[in-house]
């Protein structure tokens, strides 16, 4: 038996075992896992996903590179034998960015329940990707278009030595900062603004030309963590541009270093020039915390 055939057999066996545990049965036939395309109606599944993004090239599938979307889609296709299955995400996190509550959705003709999908996915996916919750929705739900808000968090470790358990999730900056000035500057980002100065190019001139740079920020705050070792920036908005949160944090650091002032934020909005704002901080400190959804998707 060649490697690919053997691996497929292993995956099928694991999925069958997981599904049997869900049903409390030891006689669940393999056809329960590999649902046929005939005699089956289309179903819609929503996933709540957490991941450590360190070892992945972001959310969006890329050829010959490990991504969150790619890993989950590969398992879904093996479980269902539906090779056209597509997983939609509420947001396309960049390489190295983490998530506590990313939302994904897909449609399938498999007869697996949402809970069986959750168990089988968690049995096969790497431990750095976990399906926290799965539920069936109506056909109107799409993870990307049904999201009306996202919360991101960026962590800056201010102590002298970063504990090994968290080094993958924080930016280490133990140097002096004017944190009061940074907090004042944080309030300037709330509201509807043109964020051209705080976003990277998409990599496509055509997309850059057509996309709107206006975004609404509902709330933003910069606080010390409970143990007083971290400076934590939390922002809630409807949607975000590429690198937008990381550019905002880089700009706040420049305010803290007194290279910029709080009043300069309004000037940067008016300039619409990304070269004038602060640097794009490293990705490891950023986490997608939560996605807010329209409630109408529930069955």
Domain limit, last residue, from 145, 164, 198: 145
Looking at the structure of the chain, the number of domains it has is 2
For residue 260, give both structure tokens: 């910029």
Domain limit, last residue, from 109, 127, 145: 145
Catalytic residue among 52, 94, 254, 264: 94
The answer to whether the CB of 98 falls within 8 A of the CB of 288 is yes
- pLDDT tens column, 56-110: 999 999 999 999 999 999 999 999 999 999 999 999 999 999 999 999 999 999 9
Q: What is the DSSP string of 9-23?
A: HHHHHHHHHHHHHHH
Question: Could you tell me where the beta strands, DSSP code E, fall in the chain?
Answer: 43-51, 88-89, 98-108, 129-137, 147-157, 171-172, 191-194, 214-224, 230-237, 286-293
Q: What is the domain extent for residue 102?
A: 3-145
Q: Note whether 116 and 214 are same-domain residues.
A: no
CATH code at 179?
A: 3.30.70.660
For residue 42, give both structure tokens: 């289309």
Mean predicted confidence (pLDDT) in 108-125: 97
Establish if 46 belongs to a structural domain: yes
Establish if 297 belongs to a structural domain: no
Establish if 172 belongs to a structural domain: yes
Catalytic status, residue 264: no
- pLDDT tens column, 142-172: 999 999 999 999 999 999 999 999 999 999 9
Residue 153: which of 171, 165, 139, 140 has the closest Cα? Answer: 171
Query: pTM here?
Result: 0.85
Separation of alpha carbons 266 and 253, rounded Å: 16
Establish if 128 belongs to a structural domain: yes
Question: Is 115's pLDDT higher than 50?
Answer: yes
Grouping H, G, I as helix, E, B as strand and the rest as coil, residue 110 is coil
Question: Is 292's pLDDT higher than 80?
Answer: yes
Establish if 298 belongs to a structural domain: no
The answer to whether the CB of 96 falls within 8 A of the CB of 32 is no
Separation of alpha carbons 92 and 73, rounded Å: 15
């Amino acid at each position: 038996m060649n490697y690919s055939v053997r691996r497929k057999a292993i995956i099928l066996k694991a999925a069958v075992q997981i599904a049997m545990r869900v049903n409390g049965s030891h006689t669940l036939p393999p056809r329960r896992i590999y649902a046929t395309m005939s005699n089956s109606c289309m179903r819609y599944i929503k996933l709540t996903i957490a991941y450590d993004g360190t070892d992945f090239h972001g959310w969006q599938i890329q050829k010959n590179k490990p991504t969150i979307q790619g890993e989950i889609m590969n398992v879904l296709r093996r479980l269902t034998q539906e090779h056209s299955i597509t997983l939609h995400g509420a947001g396309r996190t960049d390489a190295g960015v983490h998530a506590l509550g990313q939302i994904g959705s897909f449609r399938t003709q498999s007869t697996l329940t949402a809970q069986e999908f959750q168990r089988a996915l968690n049995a096969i996916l790497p431990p750095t990707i976990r399906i926290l919750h799965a539920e069936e929705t109506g056909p109107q739900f799409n993870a990307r278009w049904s999201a009306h808000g996202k919360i991101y968090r960026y962590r800056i470790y201010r102590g002298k030595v970063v504990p090994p358990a968290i080094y993958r999730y924080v930016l280490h900056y133990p140097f002096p900062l004017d944190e009061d000035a940074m907090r004042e500057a944080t309030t300037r980002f709330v509201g509807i603004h043109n964020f051209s100065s705080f976003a990277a190019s998409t990599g496509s001139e055509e997309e850059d030309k057509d996309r709107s740079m206006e975004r609404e920020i509902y709330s933003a705050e910069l606080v010390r963590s409970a143990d007083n070792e971290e400076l934590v920036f939390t922002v809630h908005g409807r949607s975000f541009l590429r690198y937008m949160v990381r550019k905002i944090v880089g700009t706040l650091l420049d305010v803290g270093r007194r290279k910029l002032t709080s009043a300069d934020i309004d000037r940067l909005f008016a300039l619409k020039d990304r070269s004038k704002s602060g640097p794009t901080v490293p990705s490891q400190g950023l986490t997608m915390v939560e996605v807010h959804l329209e409630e109408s998707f529930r069955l």
